[in-house]
Amino acid sequence: MRVAIAADHGGFQLKKEIIECLRADGFEYKDFGTYSEESVDYPDLALAVAEAVKAGDYDRGIICCGTGIGVSLAANKVPGIRAALCHDTFSARCAREHNDANILTLGQRVIGAGLAAEIVRIWLNTVFAGGRHARRVEKIAQIEAKYNK
């Protein structure tokens, strides 16, 4: 599995911790930035990961900012992206099983590195359940199509 990862300055330290987790677990990844705690605009980084996942260059994406909210909002503007903000393991599992989320967003100012690593591992290793959930994900795609004409 190939993972695209990015963070703004507010999520930079958490991104570094997650990269260590990805490396330890043997996941292939690409770091789309930022590479310091110098202020940057989170929509630019969220868009880079969302476009890479949408294009199929990466199977999943992870984006961090201070709360995870801003990057989630920005990434979800890209058709076909289902970015889920998760700050607990139950939500991470459900985001994959029920929603087929292809991007995980996290907030450095909300959770610690240990919990983030656990969330990432669960999210990356959970399979979409399909079935009735596939019908619902398809309805999300239909909403996107309706408003992206």
21 given a catalytic annotation: no
87 given a catalytic annotation: no
Cβ-Cβ contacts under 8 Å for 80 (sequence gap 6 or more) = 54, 102, 141, 144
57: left (phi over 0), alpha (psi -120 to 50) or beta: alpha
Annotated binding site: 8-9, 66-70, 99, 109, 132, 136
Annotated binding site for D-ribulose 5-phosphate: 8-9, 66-70, 99, 109, 132, 136
Cβ-Cβ contacts under 8 Å for 122 (sequence gap 6 or more) = 89, 92, 93
From the list 21, 64, 65, 86, the catalytic residue is: 65
From the list 21, 86, 94, 98, the catalytic residue is: 98
How far apart, in whole angstroms, are the C-alpha atoms of residue 37 and residue 11? 8
Task: Give me the active site residues, please.
Answer: 65, 98
